Amino acid sequence: MNLHPQFSETEAVWELRLYVAGQTPKSLKAFANLKKICEEYLEGQYRIEVIDLLENPQLAKGDQILAIPTLVRKLPEPVKQIIGDLSNTEKVLVGLDLRQVNIS
């Protein structure tokens, strides 16, 4: 039985973690940018987990978080990290392997 009817068995679900430190303007902007990118490029195929390191600082060690905000793509593998507020959509798409780098 499929508990997530919007996902078929063959579709990959992207598991994304956004590490932030409180509700700062930069953290809020990173989340808004991530949500917009996911809605546009991964419609219905993603999960975002926001981890506030002010509340759970021990969680930074597991994904080796050195700066915030940091986006971690857990699935599909390989694991990837993007640091910053995610305002450069092209950089985020390339970093997540949603778009190829254009070399001209």
Distance of CA 12 to the CA centre of its chain: 15
Region 13-35 average pLDDT? 96
pLDDT digits (tens, 9 = 90+) for 30-54: 999 999 999 999 999 999 999 999 9
Q: What pLDDT, on a 0 to 100 scale, did the predictor assign at position 12?
A: 78
Q: Are strands 80-83 and 46-52 parallel, antiparallel or unpaired?
A: unpaired
Residue in the block written with tokens 């390191």: 53
Provide Rg for the chain, Cα atoms: 14
pLDDT in tens, 46-101: 999 999 999 999 999 988 999 999 999 999 999 999 999 999 999 999 999 887 55
